[in-house]
């Protein structure tokens, strides 16, 4: 699985790189800590896959990197995504 570190993500944001950021945590978690991006809770990721780009780099994150890794696996296996990156260590590493 492809990954980006928290430092790499921060550089991508600061340089305004063209990528999509997806947060797969629950809405109440996003309210507590939010680094931007589209909130698609883990359980809705496959159903809402039409909102996830296939044309550019997509960084998917959660609290620690475990849920986002599961989402990436599902999207790659079921829907053929090849452009997904997991935020290593999740939002905990980013903070």
Active centre residues (catalytic): 62
Distance separating alpha carbons of residues 86 and 77, to the nearest angstrom: 15
On whether the CB atoms of residues 20 and 52 are closer than 8 A, the answer is yes
Distance separating alpha carbons of residues 93 and 71, to the nearest angstrom: 19
């Amino acid at each position: 699985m492809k990954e980006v570190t928290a430092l790499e993500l921060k550089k991508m944001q600061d340089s305004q790189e063209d990528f999509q950021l997806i947060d797969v945590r629950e809405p109440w978690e996003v309210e507590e800590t939010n680094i931007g991006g589209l909130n698609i809770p883990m359980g809705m990721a496959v159903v809402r896959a039409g909102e996830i780009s296939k044309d550019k780099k997509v960084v998917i994150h959660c609290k620690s990197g475990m849920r986002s890794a599961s989402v990436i696996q599902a999207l790659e296996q079921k829907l053929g995504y090849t452009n997904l990156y997991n935020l290593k260590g999740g939002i905990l590493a980013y903070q």
